């Protein structure tokens, strides 16, 4: 049965809309490797709160791994090969990270996903992300793969216009969502994170988004 959860919270792919596929618990078995990998990235490229082009700090902290990393400052949003804070290239995207994202994309029907960027968002209770589109990538025919870890979040799933109604979808530890095709440019966001704590991870949520940036 497609909607049956097993003991580990895993279930088969579920279509959220045209081109958007939710895989509950898909990354749970990779938890330890993912957390270790995030900690390793953060030692080389620390989490920081980027400034919006309007000059306000974002509430989620961010870092990146891969050949390209997403940055925001007074000059706008873009991808950069080097971390502006350290001047060094972003840490490498490990094979384990890449393989997980490529396999999820393949199961969702995207055979040729070649991610070169992994943006890692860190939310503490109260942090949010307002409704936006992801359109800084060159090839919008490639999907974005999202991996959620730690505290659960209310994901706001909108339409093609900012003012379209939004649906609320809870994203839990280990959930993976592939956003491509007709869903690639839909508006989306994250409601303020509720307080709580997650065994082994603490009072935080990580979201990794794998992208073809350049």
Quote the CA–CA distance of 102 and 210 in Å, as a whole number.
9
- Residue nearest to ligand MD3 according to CB distances in the complex: 207
In the complex, least distance from residue 189 CB atom to Fe ion, rounded to whole angstroms: 8
Beta strands across the sheet bearing 167-171: 129-132, 188-190, 153-157, 167-171
In the complex, least distance from residue 119 CB atom to Fe ion, rounded to whole angstroms: 9
- Residue nearest to Fe ion according to CB distances in the complex: 134
Beta bridge partners of 168: 156
Smaller CB separation from ligand MD3, 58 or 82: 58
Instruction: Name the DSSP letter for residue 28.
Output: G
Quote the CA–CA distance of 214 and 90 in Å, as a whole number.
14
Interacting residues toward ligand MD3 by CB under 6 A: 119, 121, 129, 134, 144, 146, 177, 179, 183-184, 186, 188, 190, 207, 209
Q: How large is the angle between the packed helices 31-44 and 95-107, nearest 10 degrees? A: 130
178 binds, options ligand MD3, Fe ion, none, Cβ within 5 to 8 A by partner type: none
Kindly state whether residue 134 participates in binding Fe ion, applying the rule CB under 5 A: yes
68 binds, options ligand MD3, Fe ion, none, Cβ within 5 to 8 A by partner type: none
Quote the CA–CA distance of 4 and 12 in Å, as a whole number.
8
Residue set of the binding site for Fe cation? 132, 134, 188
Annotated binding-site ranges: 70, 77-79, 121-123, 132, 134, 136, 162, 188, 205-211
């Amino acid at each position: 049965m497609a909607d049956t959860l097993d003991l580990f919270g895993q279930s088969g792919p579920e279509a959220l809309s045209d081109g958007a596929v939710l895989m509950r618990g898909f990354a749970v078995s990779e938890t330890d490797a993912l957390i270790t990998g995030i900690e390793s990235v953060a030692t080389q490229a620390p989490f920081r709160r980027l400034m919006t082009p309007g000059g306000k700090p974002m509430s989620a902290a961010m870092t990146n791994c891969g050949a390209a990393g997403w940055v925001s400052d007074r000059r706008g949003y873009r991808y950069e090969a080097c971390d502006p804070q350290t001047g060094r290239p972003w840490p490498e995207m490990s094979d384990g990270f890449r393989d997980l994202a490529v396999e999820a994309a393949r199961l969702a029907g995207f055979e040729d996903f070649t991610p070169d960027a992994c943006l890692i968002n860190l939310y503490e209770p109260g942090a949010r992300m307002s409704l936006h589109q992801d359109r800084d990538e060159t090839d919008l025919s490639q999907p974005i793969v999202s991996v959620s870890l730690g505290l659960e979040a209310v994901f706001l799933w909108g339409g093609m216009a900012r003012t379209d109604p939004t649906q609320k979808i809870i994203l839990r530890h280990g959930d993976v969502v592939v956003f491509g095709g007709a869903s690639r440019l839909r508006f989306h966001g994250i409601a303020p994170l509720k307080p709580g704590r997650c065994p082994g991870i603490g009072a935080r949520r990580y979201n990794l988004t794998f992208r073809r940036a350049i």
